[in-house]
Amino acid sequence: MSSARFLRSVTLAGVLFAVAGCKPQSDGQTSADVPNGEQLYTVHCANCHGPSLEGEPDWRQRKANGRLPAPPHDASGHTWHHPIDMLFRMTRDGIVPPLAPDGYQSDMPAFAGTLADNEIRAVLSYIESRWPAEIRQMRAQRFNPPAP
């Protein structure tokens, strides 16, 4: 990681911590191991999803082979639309039934066997930590509403 990017991510994390009241907010389903998650992301995900979670260029256009490029995991993508449990299963098992039709062809690898469950949770915590506070609050309401 370049030092400029490192400084930027430290600054962003500082802003998010301040917004969230000095405590990283989560929808309560991921671990809080964000630093470990960032390292794992860099090693295992950044190649396709981009070092800054920006996704592949033209990620909405199918490739010549009919497959979709890797979408961004930052707020410009659709990762944040899905509950953590679904993101966890897509990362562990790949984009396979029941989350995709039978025979669906995808370049997203299954990480079962490469990453332990708690490592997958750490990566997802890191991704989640990069979403703006409004998105995280909205997710907390939608996916993990407070008990009535």
Chain residues that interact with ligand HEC, rule: CB under 6 A: 44-45, 47-49, 68-71, 78-79, 82, 87, 90-91, 95, 106-109, 111, 123
Task: Give min distance, CB of 78 to ligand HEC, in A.
Answer: 4
- Our CB check for ligand HEC shows the closer of 34 and 87 to be 87
Token pair of 49, please? 């999803």
Question: Is 130:12 a contact under the CB 8 Å cutoff?
Answer: yes
Token pair of 36, please? 């470990």
Which 3 state secondary structure label does DSSP give 102? coil
Task: Give min distance, CB of 9 to ligand HEC, in A.
Answer: 17
Task: Give min distance, CB of 148 to ligand HEC, in A.
Answer: 30
- Our CB check for ligand HEC shows the closer of 25 and 71 to be 71
Task: Give min distance, CB of 22 to ligand HEC, in A.
Answer: 27
- Our CB check for ligand HEC shows the closer of 14 and 142 to be 142
Question: Is 136:27 a contact under the CB 8 Å cutoff?
Answer: yes
CA 21 to the chain's CA centroid: 22
- Our CB check for ligand HEC shows the closer of 11 and 104 to be 104
Task: Give min distance, CB of 87 to ligand HEC, in A.
Answer: 4
Residue 72 CA to residue 78 CA, distance in Å, equals 8
CA angle 113, 6, 122 (to 5 degrees): 30
- Our CB check for ligand HEC shows the closer of 19 and 109 to be 109
Token pair of 118, please? 């708690």
